[in-house]
A = this chain, B = another copy of it.
Amino acid sequence: MKIRGLIYLFFILAFTANVSAQNTDEDAFFIKKIHDKALSDSKCYDWLYHMSENIGARLSGSDEYNIAADYTEAELRKLGVDKIWRQTTTVDYWDRGSGSSVRITDAMGHVLETKSLALGKSVGTPPGGITAEVIEVKSLDEVEQLGREKIEGKIVFYNRPLDPTHLNTFRAYGGAVDQRGNGASKASEYGALGVLVRSMTTRQDDVPHTGSLRYKEGVKPIPGIAISTNDANKLSTLLKDGEQPVMATMEADCNPAGERPSDNIIAEIKGSEFPDEIILVGGHLDSWDVGGGAHDDGAGCVHSMEVIHILKALNYQPKRTIRCVLFANEENGLAGGREYARISNENGEFHLAAIESDSGGFVPRGFTMDGTAAVLESYAKQINDWLPLLEPYGLWLKTGGSGADISPLKSQNGLLMGLRPDSQRYFDFHHTATDRIGAVNQRELELGAATMATMVFLIDKYGLKRP
């Protein structure tokens, strides 16, 4: 292939597209500076180390959450932002208590002590636990089909694995997580006493994964406990092997524990030309109550903080207002995201764009874009013109979701985006005791921050024409 032909082609394309060649060179240069800064002199890894290892897991409403809120507020203040404030939300606290256990016994008297974690928001069991026969199902539909005759008085074991053939592991998760979210209430409707749920991961290992369940109103809440995939496989084998019933004793000391306050942390750099056009970067400061919440979602918090750090360090003067928001309570209620949007709407604010990072601190692969149909048609097209600036960093743009915390902002008719890191390892650590700093590669984390800063820079510099 001839380079001359390519260049000729390029000029045709450049002409038809909206990108001016001169700006493109300048932009590419600044984007390189953003990346250089992130890879050589960033703070995000140290911040995440502190949050994950020194503060640790930080469920909304916990002491650790409040310590993390103080810490991130102080660190954001050091960056010299124009304004920093808090929004207090009210969250439904939940307490794991002294933990859980699931002991399986077959008719031969063999005992399997599983690795387990009670599901978030689950009610506890009575002391001494619940002992009952286990029945395995692959879906909520199967519970309905089996009906009360087969389900009543039993412990229902949801064991449909994540489909490993999805390239995007979030799809695999999305295809299985109804068991965790709604399995308890479905089983309770048919008289079950409790549910065991196969951990939501593509891995075969001994690590149990927690995460929220939701109780349906009017249905008796029964306890739900996750067991590791290795234990789920063993239990399933026991159930297949025997003619005799397999019994489980499940015990969990957890319980909902009343309302507590929990704060969103917000910092901003005021825009010089269009201060009323807000570009938000954010993640959620809360995590589940095990591990260190390193990937979920400490990474998203430090990504967002690092955007501020990089732009400040490069002495970038934004035309628009750049706002970093660390949301409370994504894991067990979304009170932070809802309250943020409520106040924003009340104040007549407009978020031109909001970018959430809540898919881990892995190597960035691109962004998904969300919004109303009119927004996607107008904004997304403009964003796509920047693709040649992103492609050298291996980044793509697709329509898709954005992030739970920013989703209530959709009605403002801005563009919502989600940073999409590579998803292969995310569910190795999601909602587990292993989601700690050792699971995070520093360069991958830094590149995520650089990718977000790049998008903020482009949106700030060029704006987005409203539909």
Interface residues of A (CB under 8 A from B): 1-10, 13-14, 19, 21, 24-25, 28, 35-36, 39-40, 164-165, 167, 169, 202-203, 363, 365, 377, 380-381, 387-389, 391-394, 396, 422, 424-425, 428, 441-444, 447
Chain B residues with CB under 8 A of A3: 3, 6
Asked if A203 and B442 make an inter-chain contact with CB atoms under 8 angstroms apart, the answer reads yes
Q: Is the CB of A424 within 8 A of B363?
A: yes
A39 partner residues in chain B, CB cutoff 8 A: 164-165, 167
In the complex, the answer to whether A2 meets B388 with C-beta atoms within 8 Å is yes
> Do the beta carbons of A424 and B447 come within 8 Å of each other?
yes
| A53: min CB distance to chain B, Å | 15
Distance between Cα atoms of A444 and B35 in the complex (Å): 25
Say yes or no: A365 contacts B394, CB within 8 Å. Answer: yes
* Cα A25 to Cα B443 with chains together (Å): 37
| Residues of chain B contacted by A6 (CB below 8 angstroms) | 3, 6-7, 9-10, 388
| Minimum CB–CB distance for A237 against chain B, Å | 19
Least Cβ–Cβ distance between A81 and chain B, in angstroms:
26
Which chain B residue shows the least CB distance to A447? B424
B5 contacts A392, C-beta separation under 8 Å: yes
Least CB distance, A288 to chain B, in whole angstroms: 22
Q: Do A381 and B1 form a contact, CB below 8 Å, given A164-B443, A165-B39, A394-B365?
A: yes
5 residue pairs, one from A and one from B, having the closest CB atoms: A5-B388, A36-B165, A424-B443, A39-B164, A5-B391
Residues of B contacting A388 in the complex (Cβ-Cβ under 8 angstroms): 1-2, 5-6, 8-9
Q: Given B1, B165, B380, B396, which contacts A380 in the complex, CB threshold below 8 Å?
A: B1
Q: Can you report 27 A-B residue pairs in the complex whose CB atoms are below 8 A from each other?
A: A1-B14, A1-B25, A1-B28, A1-B388, A2-B28, A2-B392, A3-B3, A4-B391, A4-B392, A5-B387, A5-B388, A5-B389, A6-B388, A9-B13, A35-B167, A39-B167, A40-B164, A169-B443, A363-B424, A394-B394, A422-B422, A424-B443, A424-B447, A425-B441, A425-B443, A425-B444, A428-B441
List residues of chain B with CB within 8 A of the CB of A10.
1, 6, 9
Q: Most B CB atoms within 10 A — which of A1, A5, A14, A425?
A: A1
Most B CB within 10 A of own CB, among A4, A5, A28 = A5
Tell me which residues across on chain B come within 8 A of A443, comparing CB atoms.
164, 169, 202, 424-425
Inter-chain CA distance A9–B9, complex, in Å, is 9
Alpha-carbon distance between A393 and B363 when the two chains are bound, in angstroms = 15
Instruction: State the main secondary structure of chain A at its contact with B.
Output: helix
The answer for the CA separation of A164 and B444 in the assembled complex, in Å, is: 12
Question: Inside 8 A of A40's CB, which chain B residues have their CB?
Answer: 164-165
Which residue on chain B has the smallest CB distance to residue A24? B1
A393 to chain B, nearest CB (A): 7
Q: With A and B bound together, what is the CA distance between A3 and B380 in angstroms?
A: 14
A7 CB to closest chain B CB, in angstroms?
7
* Bound: A65/B363 CA distance, A: 34
Chain B residues lying within 8 Å of A24, measured Cβ to Cβ, are 1
Q: Closest Cβ of chain B: how far from A295's Cβ, in Å?
A: 13
Q: What residues of B have a CB within 8 angstroms of the CB of A21 in the complex?
A: 1
State in angstroms the CA–CA spacing of A103 and B377 once bound together: 65
Q: How far is the CA of A377 from the CA of B389 in the complex (A)?
A: 26
Inter-chain contacts of A13 with B (CB < 8 A)? 9
Separation of A342 and B204 alpha carbons in the complex (Å): 44
Which residues from chain B contact A396 at a C-beta distance below 8 Å? 394
A167 touches B7 (CB 8 A): no
Q: Please, which residues of chain B bring their CB within 8 A of the CB of A394?
A: 365, 394, 396
Residues of B within 8 A of A4 (CB): 391-392
Given contacts A202-B443, A363-B424, 20 further A-B contacts (CB under 8 A): A1-B10, A1-B25, A1-B28, A1-B380, A1-B389, A2-B28, A3-B3, A4-B392, A5-B389, A6-B7, A39-B165, A39-B167, A40-B164, A169-B443, A363-B363, A365-B394, A394-B394, A394-B396, A424-B443, A425-B443
A363 to B422, CA, bound (A): 8
Which of A19, A25, A443 has the largest count of B CB atoms less than 10 A from its CB? A443
